[in-house]
Amino acid sequence: MFLAVWDWLLPISVGLFAGLLISTRKKVDLTQLVTLDAEEFRLNMRKGQLIDIRKEDDFKKTKVNGSRNFPKRSIFSSLHKVRKDQAVFIIYSVHGTNPKSVAKKLIKKGFRPIYVLKGGIENWPFNLKEE
């Protein structure tokens, strides 16, 4: 008798617990994620932190003046270097990391607002700093 009750009670309990965890999961407020065209991005980027999430080699070749490089692999281990009280402006490459996935993770960590350069660095019509 006890074994028969256990056969159906355990799966139902596990299912209810999993459903509770999923329903209480923290949702990302995507209103804090804004995509800006190059002109608007350039006009506002000095109001916050300019973060370039491209690979280090690409960043060393060309970069937007004033930007700091945090490749996707290292950005989350370097969050102590990024201020939460200032907006974050993200520069990326269309051939690299998806900026929206990085932005969503930053929003979950409490960084906001997040601005993303529309079309990536390839869409930047202004001068780039070259080394």
Residue 116, pLDDT score: 96
Please list the pLDDT of the chain residue by residue as tens digits (131 residues).
555 766 777 788 888 888 877 777 767 777 889 999 999 999 999 999 999 999 999 999 999 999 999 997 788 888 889 999 999 999 999 988 889 889 988 998 999 999 999 999 999 999 998 87
Residue 131, pLDDT score: 75
| CATH 1.10.10.60 correct for 30-130 | no
Residue 9, pLDDT score: 77
Closest by CA position to 102, among listed 66, 69, 75: 75
pTM: 0.78
Output the DSSP codes for 42-111. HHHGGGEEEEE-S-HHHHHHEE-TT-EE--HHHHTTSGGGS-TTSEEEEE--TTS--HHHHHHHHHHTT-
Q: Where are the domains of the chain?
A: 30-130
Q: Are 114 and 84 in contact (CB under 8 A)?
A: no
Residue 23, pLDDT score: 74
